[in-house]
Structures are given as C-alpha cells and as structure tokens.
Amino acid sequence: MLKKKEKYTVAVVGATGAVGNEMISILSERKFPIEQLRLFASERSAGKTLEYNGKEIKVELLKEDVFKGIDIALFSAGAERSKHFAPISAESGCVVVDNSSAWRMDPEIPLVVPEVNPDDINKHKGIIANPNCSTIQMVVVLKPIHDEAVVKRVVVSTYQAVSGTGKDAMDELTEQTGNLLSFKEIKCNVYPYQIAFNCLPHIDVFLENGYTKEEMKMVNETKKIMGDDSIKVTATAVRLPVYRGHSESLNIETVYKLTANDARAIMSEAEGIVVFDAPEKNVYPLPFDCASKDEVYVGRVREDDTVENGLNMWIVSDNLRKGAALNAVQIAEKLISI
C-alpha cells in the first residue's frame, strides 16, 4: 500500500507522448502534491526536456532499475512496455496507474473511473488500470442512470478523434488535409484509408466475431467498471477527421422508466457531467467546444419511443483529458486520499 506523505515522488512513463504531456499539465493544474517529478521515455525521446511548473525537467531513459524511491507512476507508454515495466515498478513499492490496455481485464487488477467505482482502488496490489477512452466517458453517464433506473442494454456508436491514435495520426490528418486542398498526392501511413474529409468504421483490429477490439473493449470494460455482468452493450466505433474530442451516440434501455427530464435532472446532479441540452437553441455538445474541458458533456436527451423504457443522448468528452490523462490523475488523487 502507498505510504501517506505530504508530498510524493511521481513518475510519468511515456512522458513525451500526447497523453504523457497531458498528464504533466494536469498534475500542475490540479496542484498534485509532488516532491519530485521524474519523466521517462524510450531511447528515441530520452534526453529531451519538458516543462513542469516553469522548470525544465530532463526526460530519462526508461530502464528496469529506475523505480526505486518513486511513490506513484503514471504509465502512458503502450501495452507491451507496460506488461514489462509495470510489475517491476510495483515490486519496487511504487503504485502504477496504467493507461494502456495491458491490465484492464485482469481480474486481479482494478479498472477504475473515480466517478463510478472509486472503492475499487482499495483492491489494488500495486497496479491500477485506466480504462479505454471511449469507455470512460460512457460509464460516467451510465452510472447515475443505472443507480436510479437500472441499465439493461446500451447501443453505442462512437465518433472518435485521431488523437486517440497518437501524434502520428494527428500529423497525418494535417498533411492529408493540406495536400487535398493543394491537389497533391494523398499518403496513408497510419490508417488504411484517407482520414481527411472521411470517416473510418475501423478502430483497432477486427476480431473473429466481426467487431473491432475497440468495440469489445467497450463491451467488456463497461461490465467490469459498473460491477454488473448483466448489462448488455453493443458498439460500433468510428474514426473521424477531428483532432480532439470523442463523441458518442447512446441508446440506453432501463428496467424502470425515466423521462428525458428525469434523466437530465439526474445527470445534472452527478459528478463529472455537464448537461448541455437545448436543441431548440442549437445548444448541444461539440468536440470543438469540449476540448481541454474535464467533464463529460451530455445533450440531445430524448425518449426512445420504440421501447418501453428507452433514452437517446449524445455525449462528448476530451479523450486526452477525461479519456486518459485526467482519469489517471484522478485515480492518483483518490489513492493518496485513502
């Protein structure tokens, strides 16, 4: 267990990536009690410097012997590196909050969204998993509805930003857009098809059941986080030419009836949700407006009259913040408060 201190030695692993950079910014913004911040990355990025609270910190090479004396490590270095380094870090006495997919479905490792299942943090044995970005924003919305009316089934379609793939994907969108507008050749390196002015119903690899790995993450992670295997989830995940911010269309079926006004009232009182819903005034969440915001924004709330107890809604959140870095920092905040 983590030893109580006034200030902690914190590491960010994968510090030079988009999520790692966001973690550093959020640690500063939220004034996390840090005695020393250490930054780690691969050979390609080690030696660079990054700013934290007005100071330049040199990025160290990630090695097996670097974790001694570190209290909390926020990992954003990919599943393979996490599989190797997270257990080593935990064995050294450090608590790992891992943003990769490596540990999410391990029954021994808690998968946590602080607004939904904060008590699961207490079950950790040195590693805590951060869920998939698209799952996080969805369960934040599902939790208060489930508590009130019991969610039976969810049909979700996602519209996900290229930043979810990483910096190379963002650069590819920029390059393709410029080339299209200049009538130049389009090159596809990150995605199998052009992403500029297009949408791809293909996120991660396809599985034998016809779903993608991203879609099945939403199915399986939702049940684990909500602590209810009876919730049925089916998903279609789509990549859009948007830089930042994931959008989702949710169709939710509940055991007990909720009107649209009931749902708005319940979500308005819930932690981490902003109800932004006045379509008659063209008020609804947009990825552009939700960028760099911490909350999950909800709009277009309406009753589904094709089922007895159904709701439709549109939700948007910043995938680099709540979908990744912020959720990890919130887990660390809960961890030091236990």
Q: Could you tell me where the beta strands, DSSP code E, fall in 101-205?
A: 127-129, 151-160
- Catalytic: 146? no
The single residue of 94, 124, 133, 290 carrying the catalytic annotation is 133
Q: Are strands 55-61 and 49-52 parallel, antiparallel or unpaired?
A: antiparallel
* Closest-CA residue to 88 (of 4, 35, 20, 13): 13
In sequence order, which residues have a C-beta less than 8 Å from that of residue 26 and are 6 or more positions away?
A: 321, 325, 326, 329
Q: What stretches of the chain adopt beta strand conformation (E)?
A: 8-13, 34-41, 49-52, 55-61, 72-75, 95-98, 127-129, 151-160, 232-239, 246-254, 273-275, 296-303, 310-317
Q: Which is catalytic among the residues 94, 146, 246, 290?
A: 246
Exposed e or buried b per residue across 313-328, where buried means at least 16 C-beta atoms within 10 angstroms of its C-beta = bbbbbbbbbbbbbbbb
DSSP secondary structure letters along 192-219: SS--TT--BS--S-B-TTS-BHHHHHHH
Catalytic residues: 133, 246
